[in-house]
Amino acid sequence: MRPGSRFAIPGGAPAEVLERLDAEALGLARARVAARLGHPDPFHLRQWLGSATGPVVATPGLPLSPDAADAVLVRAAVETGADPGLLAGLFAGRPAGAQARAVGAPFPCFRFPRERPPTPVRIGRVDTWSCADIGEPPNATVRAVVAIPGGVALGTDYGLVLHQGGQFRPFPWPEGARREARRVEAMAVHGGELLVATSQSLVRWNFRSDPTVKKHGADAEGGWDELRCMLSSGHRLFLGWRTRLEGGDGPPDTFALCEAAGVVYAGTAGGDIYVVDGGRQCSLAPGRPAPVRHLAYADGRLHAAAGGQHQQFDGVTWRAAAPEPTAFAVDRWARVWSLAEGRLFATTRAGAWPAPLPLDRPWCLGASGDSLWIGGRERLWRVEIG
């Protein structure tokens, strides 16, 4: 199917619809289905299918609504005797064939993939250390956490600490690296390397040899460039700079990055959501400059911290509720955790659940194995979860 093409559904079984969809997209994630149809994301797919210029019309000149367009696909599968698991593959993003399973929903629609519900939240043992305990200055703030082989890397405003094998040890900074240049802004693991964005440089370390350092240099506006966020997506590495996105076609400034169902999303300082290589999609803070500070994806929803709210997108509809998170993390059970108003929250299909955990000035959040790591002003917490 080509964007803008039209074909009529034949009377009786609309076999042509199913045949074309099967040839083009059955069994692919909806993000990839959308790309085949001319949109690289689910934002406009349903609307496009039901528009007057879309590919499906029930009778000549009469466009279908988005819901009716979905119903056509369901009816096509039923009337042609197709395996309902194949249709589930289209709607739920699972592979075609034996691995596909029919979704337990009375009316499927183009949403992000959702497998079985995440397990209930359980909080276990809580450990805490001062920044002096982990080898940093007592007044340091733990600003970034990322999982690495065998543990986590903990970035502060003075340097970087590794926790592996139950022990804290300092990062092997190259000789001569000044403390004032070690302020960690963001981290990622990509291609077997730990990438550390400091206030002045991008540091790469392969966990064996000495790290390499490359200074950011000047930006396009005559100032010192700032690397705000990083994302490893398969073989692609995305670097979100203050004045550009490196690794794909994205917004002119990037505040946050995440991958959802095979599509990379970027949030901007102005509150816009972009699809990388797909253009601007929407604004989460219309009429005011409120940045998209954080993004995360899990359990079929894209999560955004923007405009003073925790905003969620299921591939069709946005919903929002205060307060705005100051950090996100996704655990291995596909649960989104967040920090907001100095508290830890777990978000599942049942809603947001505040953890009974006293925190003092928390700043960042990360997940590794069965643990959450929470960095804050002068303190670090590790929380066992299940």
**d(C-alpha 134, C-alpha 254), whole Å:** 32
What would the CATH number be for the domain defined by 123-385?
A: 2.130.10.10
Contact between 238 and 230 under an 8 Å Cβ cutoff? The reply is yes
pLDDT in tens, 297-306: 999 899 999 9
Handedness of CA 29, 34, 40, 42 (dihedral sign): negative
Q: Please tell me the predicted confidence (pLDDT) of residue 8.
A: 31
Contact between 337 and 117 under an 8 Å Cβ cutoff? The reply is no
Paired with 201 in beta bridges are 215
Q: Please tell me the predicted confidence (pLDDT) of residue 3.
A: 30
**d(C-alpha 114, C-alpha 100), whole Å:** 13
State the greatest distance between any 2 C-alpha atoms of the chain, in Å, as a whole number.
77
What are the domain boundaries of the chain?
Answer: 7-99, 123-385
Least confident residue range of 90-104, 245-259, 334-348: 90-104
Judge whether residue 154 has pLDDT over 90: yes
Q: Please tell me the predicted confidence (pLDDT) of residue 221.
A: 61
Residue 361: how many CB atoms within 10 A of its CB? Answer: 10
Q: Please tell me the predicted confidence (pLDDT) of residue 111.
A: 59
Q: In the predicted model, what is the mean pLDDT of residues 324-331?
A: 97
Residue with tokens 């960690």: 184
Pairing of strands 7-8, 56-59: parallel
Paired with 364 in beta bridges are 375
**CB neighbour burial string for 264-283, b if at least 16 within 10 angstroms, e if fewer:** bbbbbbbbbbbbbebeebeb
Q: Please tell me the predicted confidence (pLDDT) of residue 303.
A: 97
pLDDT in tens, 342-369: 999 999 888 889 999 999 999 999 999 9
Contact between 305 and 326 under an 8 Å Cβ cutoff? The reply is yes
Q: What would the two tokens of residue 257 be?
A: 């990055």
Judge whether residue 217 has pLDDT over 80: no
Query: C-alpha dihedral over 41, 244, 177, 135, to 10 degrees?
Result: -40
Least confident residue range of 55-69, 238-252, 255-269, 325-339: 55-69
